[in-house]
Chains A and B, each alone.
Chain A
């Protein structure tokens, strides 16, 4: 299977030509962008139900008809996995929702996930021709989710075609988005694929990290089931580098190994009081709640809750944590971020949802110390007020402390969400593997191949901290390159 030789919806097919002619560009452009129906904020903070409710079939068809079906669709170039975007959208417009899902599954192992958590506003939708017309882009993400959800609920599962077995077998380390995407592509190419997962559940960050109200576990499980149905084997509770070594994997006859072990170590700020009880990483907080079911009926894992909760950081994980804290009963849930809102890395939608849910934003504030009671439980946070100075290497204006402006803020839970470092298990355990100073595995940008010929890597273990879709893009590229190397 080579690149671009497969799509079930080529632009020159007759139905697409007819569809293009059925409406004028002016008619299409006059339709307003669909609005995502959402749960009421007052209700949703009382539960874990998904906030975005998904658009209806009528809304989807209308939104799909906004798409101009451009001759040189730029949206596709903005997609890290190169989904045939107009192809699936035009299928929605003509009412063939099943075929829309078929097109999605040709390139993406996880469309129902991507339709929910991709930052489309920075990717596909950012390239939409509507921007040139000073109009809002086609809601590609909403449509992707619609098609994927429709397929799931229709009972008619799209089963991508699988090439005949080629007699080669590959192993995958980690069952997060990069690993699943790689596994999906390789099984379709005829490989025997085994995915090793360290945790007791498959899904990686999609399970332990992203909360139910943004990505229900049932959605992730459905996508995993599809992969199992295609023949992907999953081995839980197996830590590569510990349970099995790299040499074991090679000795077991695997022809290639894709390492997608994710971002392991949570970063802390090394400020006084950070080891007090009630100060924890967002990884710990979210894992306890999402993966372990803390706070849910029957869940045996405890989690600390607080009346006044401060989440440190301005990324998506910080937003997930603070919104989780609201749902776990925090009366005051605060984001403490050292830059301004304009510099915040979180998705605009997440920030909007957090605000609707009553989250307090303390921007231009940086914690400098935590204090606790006699039992060592945190009860106070000292924050340094900041102002924006010159842009730093990231292009964002860097925060500078305002001398003397330190406030004492009472808190009873602090969740530190200032990033993660790569998981050192694989880099430390595989001899001869080239690793960067930051601890990431060094790979070729295009092939994702490491300094060891059979070992490819992608996702956060290479990038240090990125998005679901970039990780999936890595998985796809690694699959294409490994296939080329093994069978090309």
Chain B
């Protein structure tokens, strides 16, 4: 049982939860995720860790209500408990001084992007962060990424905030203007697919973080399998981060619809 200490609404369907989880807060690194369960009959849901405070013993999760289980989690209030939180799972992001790194995120994908932005900046990179959303109200974590980014570019589909256009337009503009050594992309599968297709054109190495269906999250079930470079890999233990240019996004999107 893990207590919820703080809650903040980013938008109608997206909430930030600060959860008591001292051991995870201590051992997690950028890129790691947790599996949470809400209720005795609850599903196991993978969520990437957006932030952690090892001193306070807390982790921060950003959850979007998309199905029954995430809706239930989003309805929890401070003082309520998550039935189970296990982690940190997956491989940590490979952080290095690459030079210039463009970190682009869409929707709640911005949440797992935050620790990577922080770590990349701390490693000495020039970090350009591109945040994309459908409309102004859905842009999240801008204030949190800003102190760790050399530049923040906002893209909205409807032009209500920042520049009108897709995330790919924002990233492509940076690539056209300066040498980019690495692109990190996290967001909906279709977004990552098009970021990857675009960066491939320019031959810029690109890393994505995948959020597939999982049950145990420790390599046991294989529900999360994806094809990377023609080989079947498990997102939970081989990932969640992969070379985006090698990922079969179409197959991944198909598999995400298994239970729709």
Interface residues in chain A, defined as those with a beta carbon under 8 Å from any beta carbon in chain B: 198-200, 208, 236-239, 242-245, 248, 264-266, 268, 270, 274-275, 277-278, 280-281, 283-284, 287-288, 292-293, 298-302, 304, 375-376, 423-425
Contacts and interface: CB of A to CB of B under 8 A. Distances in A.
B144 interface: no
Nearest to A297: B41
Contacts of B259: 302, 304
Contact of B86 (A243, A284, A300): A243
A477 B254 CA distance: 47
B238 to A, nearest CB: 9
Given A264-B218, A284-B215, A300-B68, A375 B257 contact: yes
B24 interface: yes
B222 A200 contact: no
A265 B234 contact: yes
Contacts of A266: 220-222
B97 interface: no
Contacts of A300: 39, 41-43, 68-69
A284 B221 contact: yes
A237 B258 contact: no
Given A266-B220, A292-B43, A198 B69 contact: no
B222 A265 contact: yes
Contacts of B254: 277, 375-376
Task: Tell me the dominant secondary structure on chain A's binding face.
Answer: loop
B218 A425 contact: yes
B88 interface: yes
Given A275-B232, A423-B218, A293 B41 contact: yes
6 contacts: A200-B44, A237-B84, A239-B87, A277-B255, A301-B215, A375-B254
Nearest to A248: B27
Interface string B75-91: 00000000111111100
A234 B68 CA distance: 30
B43 A425 contact: no
Contact of A277 (B221, B226, B258): B258
Given A264-B218, A287-B220, A299 B41 contact: yes
Contact of B222 (A268, A302, A376, A424): A268
Contacts of B83: 200
A182 to B, nearest CB: 20
A200 B84 contact: yes
B232 A270 contact: yes
B221 A274 contact: no
A287 B84 contact: no
Contact of A239 (B86, B225, B255, B257): B86
A292 B85 CA distance: 15
A275 B27 contact: no
Contacts of A292: 43-44, 215
Q: 3 shortest A-B CB distances, which residue pairs?
A: A284-B221, A376-B254, A237-B86
Interface in B244-260: 251, 254-255, 257-259
Contact of A242 (B37, B89, B223): B89
B169 interface: no
Given A200-B83, A264-B220, A304-B258, A243 B215 contact: no
Contact of B220 (A278, A283, A375): A283
A226 B169 CA distance: 62
A424 B226 CA distance: 18
A299 B39 CA distance: 10
A84 B32 CA distance: 49
Contacts of B86: 198-200, 237-239, 243
Contacts of B216: 198-199, 208, 287
Contacts of A277: 254-255, 257-258
A394 B218 CA distance: 30
Contact of A238 (B23, B227, B232, B251): B23
A248 B24 CA distance: 13
Contacts of A200: 37, 44, 83-84, 86
Contacts of B24: 243
B37 A287 contact: no
Nearest to A200: B84
B221 A242 contact: no
B257 A283 contact: no
Nearest to A421: B219
Contacts of A264: 218-220, 237
Q: Quick one: which of B39, B41, B219, B226 has the most chain A CB within 10 A?
A: B219
Contacts of B85: 237
B221 A287 contact: yes
A300 B254 CA distance: 22
Given A200-B83, A425-B237, A243 B221 contact: no
Contacts of A243: 23-24, 27, 86-88
Contacts of A278: 258
B84 A424 contact: no
B118 to A, nearest CB: 21
A131 B259 CA distance: 52
Contact of B225 (A275, A288, A424): A275
B162 to A, nearest CB: 36
A26 B259 CA distance: 63
A304 B260 CA distance: 11
A301 B84 contact: no
A373 B259 CA distance: 15
A283 B222 contact: yes
Contact of B219 (A199, A265, A270): A265
A301 B89 CA distance: 20
